Structure 1
């Protein structure tokens, strides 16, 4: 038997060299003949109407080809259904340059197209607009009275409303032995992937386009473009082989895609549109939220009541919402619960999914409330979690397909040295620094989406796979190659996984930590079908030892089909294809969740984060000196890329807790720190010693390969663990994110 398996090995990214040497091409780097460049003009007005546009100054500049606005844009075949893409929330989708109305500050109101980028950008400053301004509301805090339930829509299945109440929460909370009530405020965050949003549209002829786009879903954007512009699906090809980060911002088609395609079709030219960093703040953000939590327990620490109320921002034209209020009951059992979630419509762009949407916001409030409860009970925070541990999902009364959270707690606590913690706040010091230990639990969904994969063996005996998924930097190419190599007994070098192309078989967008369990399962299904075809063809060869041999009697290794009873009897894959007259043997198959079987279970990944902070006694400056996160996510296909995902999430957790926030000036109705100089993110000096543990977790139920995603689970527990560590260090409980040093002084 072939023991040279690649699954489970820490293999470096296969595309790594291309990326670090600059050979990998991103959306704004594809060249096309006679390429025009577009520059977007954004509204300085938050709400109102465009009364007049004077483009004469821009058009007088040599090299300017056209200025497109609502006044002269071509007619469009707007897709009149409620949704124009697979991730659209309920409401009326935003339509760039649709009419004179201004819905939010930064809205695109014109596109300048010129022979080069610099000319287009300069010409944009020469356009004169007249506006009729209207009163606007952009403050969540000032509009709480406008809160309402979100409308239901296409995405409700993935983003369900909070579960109904159980028991009598009000009575249980009022009469509880120990209880905590707190209000948490979370600021706005913008995605800010390092690659700017960009689209290069190659005009191939009337109604036919090749589009290089920054996206997490090639097919999603293909459907969007075809529907909006009334084109045939087969005549729209979207490619995104390399994506420089997205974190959810690329799930929906962004407006530069629309504007670029519109210009290319109108001018019948190749066009590129690249947004600058400031324009990246004109869409794509995690919404601010206000959460009120009320937790109660008996004197021994067992939870008796869980209450969670959420108010979050949405736009005035779409009802974006994300599951936030329900997470506590998926972690902790309590007989009396009350969960409420509402949205507040404001004059802003629609928020978007941002790494662990809902979960990262919820878990901060939940785990800080649990921490506060532990201090009131005088019970160790870890012990309180163990007292309330449940092997079942308390919210659904269903067992998890697997849950190794207890192992996460214990292994991370031991690695971290939790037993060295002094329970009393502000009791641990290191020189002029207060030292604090904090911990928190993490949970995230274990999604799987349908996916289709074409698999073929070529004349040189190599395995080629095709699927439309993207790789947004998670290691998808490498992991899929590993899965496929093991299924056919091949080396990594003998597998070619081709992706990032809407012409390839179906894939959902890459999001929700779902692609390994989606495309990976499809690869396994396709590989099984391919093995059957190869064995059948081998049996057709005259005098073949594989004639009428059953599948269970053979195995694939080293590019060969071998008999289990006598591995010395084999035939190479090359020889099988040669017998097939050199034609590839291929198959296309769908992988999908086992809905009937899985409806009896709850599906989730789990984690535990432990953090040490130092807080300067005089300045209040917080440093995360070290952190350990343990993750239970089923089978880990590649420990190296998986660890990188968790480390990246932990860094983001530090950023969310201490740095990252977009500031809205509610008098102007605009964000005022729209650059990476003032939108603070961590630098190397902010990151201490980070460690990752993967707890052993065998899941035979969840899918054919036993995997759960690792993209988001490393983030959800970190902000709360940091907040809890700060309380332990200082004795001050801060109920907002991010935490600023001035709140810890005095």
Structure 2
């Protein structure tokens, strides 16, 4: 049954198949679903203290307000079972999550102490403002400095996560090697708290239909939300359906099922009506996790030729008093460069705050910032080109796990990036380069790396007699183009044109998927999609009695009387134990600094990435330039200012919490080096979303040093920090 050959679409820059829905308003986000005209609205009342107990709570005025259906507090809320549930890697492995309105305990400023439910959002907001709470306040840890004085190692109950977190590790003798090193550097690097600010704020609509719960929720993992709610209410998971078809940016903020999800479901059960609960932008700073404040010490020792002899990397990060959230702050240091003597140590600084959470490249982006700034300082001490220093310390294998790399193209990444950037035009002397307007010019570089992760996932392929196919998995799409890339994989596996394939996601009624995070979606779910499509095609041929594997599937399908349906799971990652699997990148940035005002501008960033097979160069490129923008914000703008009196985020709005805007962004050049990796997974993909942010901040900071001769070790780099530091005569002009 011959047919016209279908051109493969994997590897092609296909435009987003869901793009028209998004630009015309046809994409429905969590807060936009309509369960019916009887839906009511919930508004949270947050605590105004950091630690203590509720002494009294007066809801009389709120309950008498127009349109109010209920006001829930710890005094009248139903007692919920809250069975044990910790889903690694999105939930902290030690501690216990918050229990909504179950007692009078307050653990941080902004914690939910009441929920007003009314017929309209405005009525609920007004009612919430009328709730009066009196507290018995207790001493609280509200500054990182105070928490650091009582830093802790991980709880003994801590379990390793799929990201490979380890609190402490050592090989060789770091102290002895440091004493023998010809050149040494030792410095402390600080990253402030950074808060999530995606376009779509967290939202949940909850509706009970008998003993069945439906949740329309902003989520990066609908299966986990279902399982969390099953544990909170102690009901079968099959009684819960979670829907999240579109996500307006998340970057880790929607990995967990945050307390407001259970709160919406609780309220809906109490009032026996659908309840919509949407956090405000300000509440995001209190009720959703964030990138934690970290302080890191990095000490490097090298011989006179720049060969690393010793690395000591210690990190401390804030966490809450009720959970221990940890990141892979130190993992890259253990394998990124060749060094016989390495010691790392991680410690927690518990504060009366909400628990931190993953924020794009959690851990790696922070740890590599410190390591790559330290490498730049070592290059200066050695009077060596910073790229040359990195290349001299390229390892032949992962010296931490004593495994070969499945593939490692860092040398090629630096070659390509340096050539595209024009690195050879760099004068190595700090504060030696200026532009025509008299601004100081600096070039800086940094390495990026992120683990290639792979997790069990399932997908379903249904082939219809009309020649079309529907492929599905309970995955998510927070912006990287999951709808599009999965459609490409399915189309190629089936041999159909892309317009004959539709991909569905974001619903727990679909085959179970893994978390949409950690740059593992294509590796995990994509391979399940491929497997389901291959099996479905095989079954279709068998039913039709077709033996020619090159036959046109579309024609074969039209001979069938019934659809072909196959659900398959991805194949196991057998090679993960035999290889060290990571993506790599090289980032080079140019900065221009006004010598009088200290203003930093970034006219261009070049990034070259080795990410294995690139399914869609167009969406992958978009991921990379988006990551560069996020890294620029980390370097120059983003910081949450925490009030030392009660740990309240003082700049909890987009008027005060600065993020990059179009005027801050100039030329972003992202490219991919050719890399074939037969070991990582059947598709040969590694993932780009996390990697694209890693390395950007240190490249900019290193460029600022090259431009000014001022070494800033605490982010963000602000004019005040540059102007307050002693400057060379060249920088002063």
TM-score by length of 2: 0.96
CA deviation after TM superposition for structure 1 residue 162, in Å: 4.5
User: Could you give the per-residue CA deviations for residues 192-217 of structure 1, whole angstroms, max 9, x where no partner exists?
Assistant: 1110111111222x211221100101
CA deviation after TM superposition for structure 1 residue 13, in Å: 0.9
CA distance in 2, matches of 1:81, 1:458: 40
CA deviation after TM superposition for structure 1 residue 164, in Å: 2.5
| 1:12 and 2:15 matched | yes
Aligned-partner SS, 1:165: strand
Q: Which residue of 1 aligns with 2:534?
A: 528
CA distance in 1, matches of 2:342, 2:396: 19
Q: How does 1:397-546 map to 2 (within 5 A)?
A: 397-430=402-435, 431-539=437-545, 546=546
Q: How many residues in Structure 1 have an aligned counterpart in Structure 2?
A: 717
1:306 to 302, 311, 315: 311
| More moved, 71-80 vs 499-508 | 71-80
CA distance in 2, matches of 1:391, 1:26: 47
2:225 to 221, 228, 248: 221
Q: Which residue of 1 aligns with 2:61?
A: 57
Q: Is the 8 A contact 2:167 2:347 kept in 1?
A: no
User: Could you give the per-residue CA deviations for residues 204-233 of structure 1, whole angstroms, max 9, x where no partner exists?
Assistant: 2x2112211001011100111111112222
| 1:654 and 2:632 matched | yes
Q: Which residue of 1 aligns with 2:587?
A: 609
User: Could you give the per-residue CA deviations for residues 472-497 of structure 1, whole angstroms, max 9, x where no partner exists?
Assistant: 11100000000000011111111111
Q: Which residue of 1 aligns with 2:564?
A: 585
| More moved, 134-143 vs 185-194 | 134-143
Aligned-partner SS, 2:558: helix
Q: How does 1:228-247 map to 2 (within 5 A)?
A: 228-247=232-251
Aligned-partner SS, 2:266: helix
Q: 1:94 to 1:221 in 2, by over 3 A?
A: same
| 1:364 and 2:343 matched | no
Q: How does 1:329-368 map to 2 (within 5 A)?
A: 329-368=334-373
Q: How does 1:147-296 map to 2 (within 5 A)?
A: 147-151=151-155, 152-154=157-159, 156-162=161-167, 164-204=169-209, 206-282=210-286, 283-296=288-301
Aligned-partner SS, 1:393: coil
CA deviation after TM superposition for structure 1 residue 329, in Å: 2.4
CA deviation after TM superposition for structure 1 residue 86, in Å: 5.5
| More moved, 406-415 vs 12-21 | 12-21
Q: 1:84 to 1:42 in 2, by over 3 A?
A: farther
CA distance in 2, matches of 1:728, 1:179: 20
1:624 to 595, 602, 613: 602
CA distance in 2, matches of 1:533, 1:99: 56
Q: Is the 8 A contact 2:160 2:166 kept in 1?
A: no
Q: Is the 8 A contact 1:88 1:252 kept in 2?
A: no
User: Could you give the per-residue CA deviations for residues 259-304 of structure 1, whole angstroms, max 9, x where no partner exists?
Assistant: 1100111111111011111001012111001100001110000100
CA distance in 2, matches of 1:203, 1:79: 20
Q: 1:141 to 1:405 in 2, by over 3 A?
A: same
CA deviation after TM superposition for structure 1 residue 163, in Å: 5.6
CA distance in 2, matches of 1:449, 1:37: 37
Q: Is the 8 A contact 1:290 1:312 kept in 2?
A: yes
| More moved, 619-628 vs 317-326 | 317-326
| More moved, 153-162 vs 413-422 | 153-162
CA distance in 2, matches of 1:625, 1:177: 37
Q: Is the 8 A contact 2:93 2:159 kept in 1?
A: yes
CA distance in 1, matches of 2:6, 2:24: 34
Q: How does 1:323-334 map to 2 (within 5 A)?
A: 323-334=328-339
Aligned-partner SS, 2:130: coil
RMSD: 1.4
Q: Is the 8 A contact 2:85 2:228 kept in 1?
A: no
CA distance in 2, matches of 1:74, 1:513: 39
Aligned-partner SS, 1:516: helix
CA deviation after TM superposition for structure 1 residue 437, in Å: 0.2
| More moved, 264-273 vs 720-729 | 264-273
| 1:119 and 2:140 matched | no
Aligned-partner SS, 1:131: strand
1:26 to 11, 29, 40: 29
| More moved, 604-613 vs 456-465 | 456-465
CA deviation after TM superposition for structure 1 residue 469, in Å: 0.4
Aligned-partner SS, 2:502: strand
Aligned-partner SS, 2:462: strand
User: Could you give the per-residue CA deviations for residues 315-352 of structure 1, whole angstroms, max 9, x where no partner exists?
Assistant: 11111101112312211011111111111111111110
Q: Which residue of 1 aligns with 2:71?
A: 67
| 1:690 and 2:668 matched | yes
Unaligned runs of 5+ in 2: 725-733
Aligned-partner SS, 2:170: coil
TM-score by length of 1: 0.94
| 1:131 and 2:135 matched | yes
1:97 to 94, 101, 104: 101
Q: Which residue of 2 aligns with 1:563?
A: none
CA distance in 2, matches of 1:240, 1:134: 40
CA deviation after TM superposition for structure 1 residue 532, in Å: 2.0
CA distance in 2, matches of 1:95, 1:644: 39
CA distance in 1, matches of 2:622, 2:259: 31
CA distance in 1, matches of 2:268, 2:646: 35
Q: Which residue of 2 aligns with 1:566?
A: none
CA deviation after TM superposition for structure 1 residue 87, in Å: 2.9
CA distance in 2, matches of 1:665, 1:46: 11
| More moved, 658-667 vs 85-94 | 85-94
Q: Is the 8 A contact 1:489 1:556 kept in 2?
A: no
CA deviation after TM superposition for structure 1 residue 536, in Å: 1.3
Aligned-partner SS, 2:314: strand
Aligned-partner SS, 2:149: helix
Q: Which residue of 1 aligns with 2:573?
A: 594
User: Could you give the per-residue CA deviations for residues 144-184 of structure 1, whole angstroms, max 9, x where no partner exists?
Assistant: 22111112535534242046311110111122100110000
CA distance in 2, matches of 1:84, 1:529: 31
Q: Is the 8 A contact 1:203 1:265 kept in 2?
A: yes
1:702 to 680, 686, 689: 680
CA distance in 1, matches of 2:550, 2:269: 53
CA deviation after TM superposition for structure 1 residue 531, in Å: 2.2
CA distance in 2, matches of 1:85, 1:302: 36
CA distance in 1, matches of 2:576, 2:651: 45
